Structure 1
Amino acid sequence: MQRRHFLKDLSFSTVSLLAMPGMGNLLPTGARPLTANDFVDAETAYGKVRGTRTNGVNIFRGIPYAGKVSGERRFRRPAPLEPWRGIREALEFGPPSVQPPRQNEPAPAEDCLFLNIWTPANDGKKRPVMFYSHGGGFVIGSGASSWQNGANLARYFDVVVVQTNHRLGLLGFLYLDELAGPDYAGSGNMGTLDITAGLKWVHENIAEFGGDPDNVMIFGESGGGAKTSCLYAMPEAAPYFNKASIESGPGVRMTTPDAAAATTALVLKELNIDPKNWRKLLEVPAADLLAVQSKIPNVPPSLGRRKKGSELPTGFGPVVDGRVLPHHPFDPKAPKISRDKPLMVGWNEDEYTFFAWQSRDVSFTKIDFDGLRAKLEPQYGTDTPKIIDTYRKANPKATAPEIFIAVASINMMGLGSVVIAERKTKQGGAPVYLYNFGYKSEVKIPGSDYALGTPHAMDITFKFNNEVPPEKGGQESSFFGGSSPDRYKASHQMAELWTTFARTGTPAAEGVPAWPAYTRKNRATMRIDTECEVIEDRFAEELKMWRSIGKLS
């Protein structure tokens, strides 16, 4: 796929994903009204908050973790959070950052710095903390998505789960450092600095919620994986987490200042604002900024490097400004600042089927091998025959559509994940664990007889243990996971691997083979399914080929 087309699909599809019906509120409380016994209070550094106790889990929604980011604080660090008197209700999710409205979630707002907590108990016990950054690229998403409901992780694995809303898109990543002076230093990274502020809040307050401030894992999927990659390389975030997991969103490189400046120039042009009068940006209604944002193409950062002077506008995302984000997260090497922090990284085997489903383009399902060549040539040119030949030899029983999915999926999320694993292990510090999620859903892509397999984003409900039997509060059939009871076992195992990693820094689960760290000698990969297995040097021939044509360093 062309990178520009990929991100267009990503933005559209993630909007749709996060607004999907069918998941509902996992483990609902039922129809009865809440009573005094259902409420639970907690003391924070800023005042007391009141949440609910539901089916053995204390849930606090919409706790503010920093102050306003509107008005004079737009494009700047948040205002200090003001303490409050009395008890602040934390019963409803806070608004997400400005974006198109989302079904079954709060209306977006410019002031959006709220977090949610799921904990087994506010009892002073030091449980591992799992701090999740939502997906949606850098332009959409919310900590209120039911797919990532943290209750089952807290309930069944005795961990504390935290999720934030944070600034996105133009409001979170407009680069003004070269125009606006020291008050706006780091403006191209406000979205990730918000997440860092959330981590700091957790460090200061999570003990009250039964969590251990000295045992925090950061993790995230898709855009949340890229955010996690950035946090892994940010000095301000470093004191507040101990391990990380990057899931179907490898952030090897981020936006350069030249590319970010080009995007800023395009925004000013769209708004008819002279760069000298940049302060007029503070007066533009947020809805108008969102409209401008929608006109600017988002192009994900490349694994490769652009020549100086060839920078084009890239949309909105973290900027390698030399201060907040001192260098690309994993280029040319893994960040020294996180050398001693264990890492998991990986991707889903059939990432592309998600995007085919969202774009309603099922043409790939009907191609033969001549059609496969025609479909790949626009992106890979003269390397196409070598790619097809390599994949056919490595997968002699695969059909043309299956090879297309394999090629598209590894290019989307796989090659970057391998780069991260290689560069992390080369440091010789804390271990890195590489995975492939491979549970196969039988759900068909609409308009075809082709099954989704393991599409992008399907891992969310699995790792949050939200694929559970009806007697445990789940549903007969899940949106992506399908209706086979096998998914319950795969979900439980994936959740146990993640929570054990959060607890100890080594992923493990009952009945799952020991997961060895990735090294340049064994290149061990855990394939996660109903029956998990460790595969050494997986995709060896394919990766050798990608290296030979310069797609993998």
Structure 2
Amino acid sequence: MRVRTATPRVGVTRWLIAMVCLVAAVAAPRAAAQPAGAAPVVTVTGGSIRGLHSDGIVEYLGVPFAAPAMGENRFAPPLPPAPWTGVRSAVTHGPQCPQSSPVPGLALQESSEDCLSIDIYVPPNSADVALPVMVWFYGGAFVLGSNAQYDSPSRLVRDGKVIVAVPNYRVGPFGFLALPELADSAGGITGTYGLLDQQAALRWIQDNARAFGGDPGNVTIFGESAGGMSVCSQIASPLTRGLFSRAIIESGSCARSPLAPPSKERAYQQSADYAAGLGCGEVPTRLQCLRALPIDRLLSSPTTQLNSMAVTWSPVQDGVVVTSSPEQALASGAARDMPLIIGSNADEGATFIALLDYARATIPTAADYLGWARELFGDNSTQVLARYPVTGFATPAAAKERVITDGFFACPAQFTAEAARRGGAQVWQYRFNDAPLGRNPLLPGAFHGAEVPYVFSGLMGVPIPLPPAADRLSRGIQQSWAQFAHTGDPVTTDFTPWPAAPGITLELGGDRITTADSFARDHHCDLWSGISHIG
């Protein structure tokens, strides 16, 4: 049965839209803060830029790190930006990369294929000492997202004495279209353009960190959901050696998971089907045909929408940019001697129930849950339903939420940590347990994306007010992440003890912070170790 839900209050709607990694910036970019004092000017690749003072830090927004990816540069590796003359104003975000709106009817941030820009946030007096640089990759299921969502790192930057940089990267087919003719024309590269955008940004950081008072030899990459998976892919890529030395993976897996990217052959087929659906099915001319289509036509396919848990667009193991699966790379030593923080949230699945059920005015019934599990997991559904029987939960939605939490996020995080340790990495693992919306039935618990405003103190330029206990936890996370960037060790006075030991998680709650050794048991990871694909 389909049940019409009540319209959620505005505050909850904003959280549902703004907090989840799967949602792009659906509000107009904030107006630039008014500069205080002399506007700073620095010289970077391409020319001089003028930033602005805001909230006790200095911001440089919308700085090009690569050329527009349009025309013959569409579905191609990024090229260097064109130089400019004079002093370029860097006080507003650049356009987001082309993507479909996650919420029909709401205005999107301006979109353009001239989107490869980076935002840099710098603490005061940074020129006196070389500071660590933290580079954030946004989430969004590889089909949504922009750096304008994450423009509230002031406290992390100011108190942590770190530079935070947030680049845009191409998403959807623009970032991950994979076809044999693309590989033939680019030395084997295909389906990894979004990753190459991230790498271009990391190289830009190497070339320009000192202009902002940063240390190019001390770069930490971090990200959430698809951003965390991007971190995994960059660790696995042989092209990133020397571009970063530490990594934080929030709710994004490097390991076997039902969300694992498709094989190259399957990616080729998906991309061919996508092209055919747009009228570009003739192999000799389809690339030319796709490059000639307008952006809105390329976004008209259902594959560019967030419609299910299935992965449509994601990085491909093309043999050049990514030469092995991230899990294999970790186990083989890709992060040997590299400090890592790996974590997940206690109730990840709540976000997907909200987006894929409640937002469509449906509440899962027992029959819905059984059908969903059988369709999604195929031959593995009997095992899944035996471990997660609908009768074992208060509601079918609760059963579905737990399956998503355990199978798609918690256990893949556990497997990621295990692989990294086998390869010689030092790993600190956490589980985020705080419930920023309390018992709200629409988005309860520590849902997917709930920890992001604890790191950034807000989203889309909107401060997210947290109750006192949650704000203390936010300060603790920011202090730990910043110390990790400085030293490679996240253990602080508030986050202690936190051993980098197998099976131990730091439990991050607003009411208390403690350690536990029950993570794998709590999330049934013995079951999920044998389930690595959908269908």
TM bin (shorter chain) = 0.7 to 0.9
Asked if structure 2 preserves the Cα contact closer than 8 Å seen for 1:38 and 1:54, the reply is: no
Q: How do 1:259-270 and structure 2 match up within 5 A? A: 259-270=266-277
Asked if structure 2 preserves the Cα contact closer than 8 Å seen for 1:215 and 1:242, the reply is: yes
Separation in structure 2 between the aligned mates of residue 142 and residue 73 of structure 1, nearest angstrom: 20
Report the counterpart of residue 402 of structure 2 in structure 1.
Answer: 406
How much does 1:222 deviate?
1.1
Separation in structure 2 between the aligned mates of residue 194 and residue 366 of structure 1, nearest angstrom: 39
How much does 1:496 deviate?
1.4
> CA distance change for structure 1 residues 391 and 63 in 2, over 3 Å: closer, same or farther?
farther
Aligned match for 2:469, one of 486, 489, 505: 486
Aligned match for 1:190, one of 166, 177, 193: 193
> CA distance change for structure 1 residues 288 and 332 in 2, over 3 Å: closer, same or farther?
same
How much does 1:509 deviate?
2.5
Report the counterpart of residue 526 of structure 1 in structure 2.
Answer: 506
Asked if structure 2 preserves the Cα contact closer than 8 Å seen for 1:52 and 1:91, the reply is: yes
Report the counterpart of residue 87 of structure 2 in structure 1.
Answer: 87
> CA distance change for structure 1 residues 108 and 550 in 2, over 3 Å: closer, same or farther?
closer
Of 288-297 and 55-64, more deviation after overlay is shown by 288-297
Report the counterpart of residue 166 of structure 2 in structure 1.
Answer: 163
Asked if structure 1 preserves the Cα contact closer than 8 Å seen for 2:29 and 2:93, the reply is: no
> CA distance change for structure 1 residues 549 and 231 in 2, over 3 Å: closer, same or farther?
closer
Asked if structure 2 preserves the Cα contact closer than 8 Å seen for 1:248 and 1:347, the reply is: yes
Q: How do 1:94-493 and structure 2 match up within 5 A? A: 94-100=94-100, 106-121=109-124, 122-146=126-150, 149-178=152-181, 181-183=184-186, 185-252=188-255, 253-273=260-280, 274-278=282-286, 279-292=288-301, 294=303, 315-331=312-328, 334=331, 336-361=333-358, 379=377, 381-384=381-384, 386-388=386-388, 399=394, 405-427=401-423, 429-445=424-440, 449=441, 452-466=444-458, 478=465, 484-493=467-476
Separation in structure 2 between the aligned mates of residue 172 and residue 90 of structure 1, nearest angstrom: 25
Asked if structure 1 preserves the Cα contact closer than 8 Å seen for 2:254 and 2:412, the reply is: yes
Report the counterpart of residue 516 of structure 2 in structure 1.
Answer: 535
Report the counterpart of residue 507 of structure 1 in structure 2.
Answer: 490
SS at match of 1:132: strand
Asked if structure 1 preserves the Cα contact closer than 8 Å seen for 2:219 and 2:243, the reply is: yes
Separation in structure 2 between the aligned mates of residue 292 and residue 104 of structure 1, nearest angstrom: 19
Q: How do 1:53-72 and structure 2 match up within 5 A? A: 53-72=53-72
How much does 1:548 deviate?
7.6
How much does 1:85 deviate?
2.1
How much does 1:41 deviate?
0.8
Specify the code of the residue in structure 1 equivalent to 2:96: P
Asked if structure 2 preserves the Cα contact closer than 8 Å seen for 1:251 and 1:329, the reply is: yes
Specify the code of the residue in structure 2 equivalent to 1:528: L
Unaligned ranges ≥5, structure 2: 1-15
> CA distance change for structure 1 residues 83 and 377 in 2, over 3 Å: closer, same or farther?
closer
Asked if structure 2 preserves the Cα contact closer than 8 Å seen for 1:105 and 1:145, the reply is: no
How much does 1:109 deviate?
0.3
Separation in structure 1 between the aligned mates of residue 46 and residue 506 of structure 2, nearest angstrom: 43
Specify the code of the residue in structure 2 equivalent to 1:99: Q
CA distances 1:178-223 after superposition (whole Å, capped 9, x unpaired):
4562336413101100100000000110111121111111010111
> CA distance change for structure 1 residues 262 and 61 in 2, over 3 Å: closer, same or farther?
same
Separation in structure 2 between the aligned mates of residue 360 and residue 387 of structure 1, nearest angstrom: 22
CA distances 1:106-125 after superposition (whole Å, capped 9, x unpaired):
40101211000001135152
How much does 1:59 deviate?
0.3
> CA distance change for structure 1 residues 422 and 110 in 2, over 3 Å: closer, same or farther?
same
What RMSD in Å do the two structures reach over aligned CA positions?
3.5
Report the counterpart of residue 309 of structure 1 in structure 2.
Answer: none
Report the counterpart of residue 7 of structure 1 in structure 2.
Answer: none
Separation in structure 2 between the aligned mates of residue 504 and residue 386 of structure 1, nearest angstrom: 45
Separation in structure 2 between the aligned mates of residue 474 and residue 140 of structure 1, nearest angstrom: 19
Separation in structure 1 between the aligned mates of residue 72 and residue 45 of structure 2, nearest angstrom: 25
How much does 1:431 deviate?
0.3
How much does 1:239 deviate?
1.6
Separation in structure 1 between the aligned mates of residue 462 and residue 100 of structure 2, nearest angstrom: 29
SS at match of 1:48: strand
How much does 1:466 deviate?
4.2
Of the two structures, which has the highest relative contact order with CA contacts closer than 8 Å and spacing of 6 or more?
2
Of 173-182 and 457-466, more deviation after overlay is shown by 173-182
SS at match of 1:337: coil
TM-score by length of 1: 0.81
CA distances 1:63-90 after superposition (whole Å, capped 9, x unpaired):
0011121112111122332222221110
Separation in structure 1 between the aligned mates of residue 372 and residue 298 of structure 2, nearest angstrom: 37
Specify the code of the residue in structure 1 equivalent to 2:84: W
Report the counterpart of residue 8 of structure 2 in structure 1.
Answer: none
> CA distance change for structure 1 residues 528 and 222 in 2, over 3 Å: closer, same or farther?
same
Specify the code of the residue in structure 2 equivalent to 1:329: P
How much does 1:254 deviate?
2.8
Asked if structure 1 preserves the Cα contact closer than 8 Å seen for 2:182 and 2:190, the reply is: no
Report the counterpart of residue 6 of structure 1 in structure 2.
Answer: none
> CA distance change for structure 1 residues 133 and 391 in 2, over 3 Å: closer, same or farther?
farther
Report the counterpart of residue 76 of structure 1 in structure 2.
Answer: 76
Separation in structure 1 between the aligned mates of residue 238 and residue 334 of structure 2, nearest angstrom: 7
Aligned length, in residue pairs? 501
Asked if structure 2 preserves the Cα contact closer than 8 Å seen for 1:153 and 1:495, the reply is: yes
> CA distance change for structure 1 residues 38 and 425 in 2, over 3 Å: closer, same or farther?
same
How much does 1:139 deviate?
1.0
Separation in structure 2 between the aligned mates of residue 474 and residue 541 of structure 1, nearest angstrom: 35
CA distances 1:512-544 after superposition (whole Å, capped 9, x unpaired):
21211132xxx1111112221111242426535
> CA distance change for structure 1 residues 12 and 124 in 2, over 3 Å: closer, same or farther?
closer
Report the counterpart of residue 527 of structure 2 in structure 1.
Answer: 546
Separation in structure 2 between the aligned mates of residue 41 and residue 221 of structure 1, nearest angstrom: 31
Separation in structure 2 between the aligned mates of residue 64 and residue 107 of structure 1, nearest angstrom: 16
Separation in structure 2 between the aligned mates of residue 91 and residue 336 of structure 1, nearest angstrom: 41
> CA distance change for structure 1 residues 12 and 270 in 2, over 3 Å: closer, same or farther?
farther
TM-score by length of 2: 0.83
Asked if structure 1 preserves the Cα contact closer than 8 Å seen for 2:247 and 2:340, the reply is: yes
How much does 1:164 deviate?
0.5
Asked if structure 2 preserves the Cα contact closer than 8 Å seen for 1:75 and 1:184, the reply is: no
